[in-house]
Homo-oligomer: A and B are copies of this chain.
């Protein structure tokens, strides 16, 4: 699809003004725009300004609180439960993540479960923040239902991502950021638009049967968990998705499983509420609580070099290090700008029309 390239700063400024339009306080608006920008820079196009119109809609309809009072409701030396006051996940998430990091600096580790929040952008942003402070960061969130448990025939769980990062000394960090389903929903949509079949193992139809037709997934089917089927470990991906749901939502008092509220207006609202908003879970470990930080980083460098030295499988250049593709995208996009496909540009123009905020 043809794309128009935008300067990262221009998109950032536009995002800030959109959030400010709804009286999101300036520092919060800047944080939210930073998280969105990070997705666009790192090539995770689905989670950047492509989502701005959804945030815009939710703020416009008062379904997200622009001036959320993010509060600790329970805590110990190394843990906290945070209530996000129905704020933007892009604001609640960074504040809760900062609490986890502060606790780690004081007590060796910090773990924060968050309720009453909304979608928080890319899981990876949070663990990159931890890296800046020589912490091992963890980040998880639950999301609107899209995935069936193994042997199920309906959407019961979100794509529930897990991110974690480890710093190297001279080598770039290892940055793991993965949904716990076999494939992103965006890839199903792309195949649908292109009229192409999808591989077996991605999705089921509305009866829970494996399908290669993207329409069958979209129209009442479901994504499959990582591992896809019983033979290849689909019960493991399902287990991971469930783990994320419990840590983010059951532990904090948020909605879980099929009761997680929708991200966008067009999505169906669950008939039942079992908690408040959606949930996140952040963790931070102080490296020097376990081992000298310099020694840890030196070993991470060795791990990275060792894995890069793996004999390549046929038709490949050998294993990547988790985080390689995103870092490479960022290097290019910081220089050359962020390409946006026409439907996204049109959404930003629509925000501009509705709000009066000028858009290039």
Could you say which interface size class chain A belongs to? Answer: 35 or more
Interface digits, A221-264 against B, CB 8 Å rule (1 contact, 0 not)? 00000111001110111111011011100111100111000000
Considering the complex, which residues of chain A in the window 191-208 have a beta carbon less than 8 Å from any beta carbon of chain B?
Answer: 199, 201-202, 204, 207-208
Interface digits, A299-317 against B, CB 8 Å rule (1 contact, 0 not)? 1101100110011111011
**Chain B residues positioned under 8 Å from A181 (CB to CB):** 233
Q: Determine whether the beta carbon of A208 is less than 8 Å from that of B285.
A: no
Q: Determine whether the beta carbon of B306 is less than 8 Å from that of A258.
A: yes
**Chain B residues positioned under 8 Å from A239 (CB to CB):** 176, 178, 322
Q: Say if the beta carbon of A183 comes within 8 Å of chain B.
A: yes
Q: How distant is the Cα of A199 from the Cα of B322 in the complex, in angstroms? A: 26
Q: Determine whether the beta carbon of A319 is less than 8 Å from that of B257.
A: no
Q: Say if the beta carbon of A151 comes within 8 Å of chain B.
A: yes
Q: Say if the beta carbon of A339 comes within 8 Å of chain B.
A: no
Q: How distant is the Cα of A148 from the Cα of B303 in the complex, in angstroms? A: 14
Residue in B202, B246, B247, B286 whose beta carbon sits within 8 Å of that of A303 in the complex: B246
Residues of A with Cβ closer than 8 Å to B? Answer: 74-79, 81, 107-109, 111, 113, 136, 148-154, 156, 164, 166, 174, 176, 178-183, 199, 201-202, 204, 207-209, 226-228, 231-233, 235-240, 242-243, 245-247, 250-253, 256-258, 274-275, 285-287, 289-291, 295-296, 299-300, 302-303, 306-307, 310-314, 316-320, 322
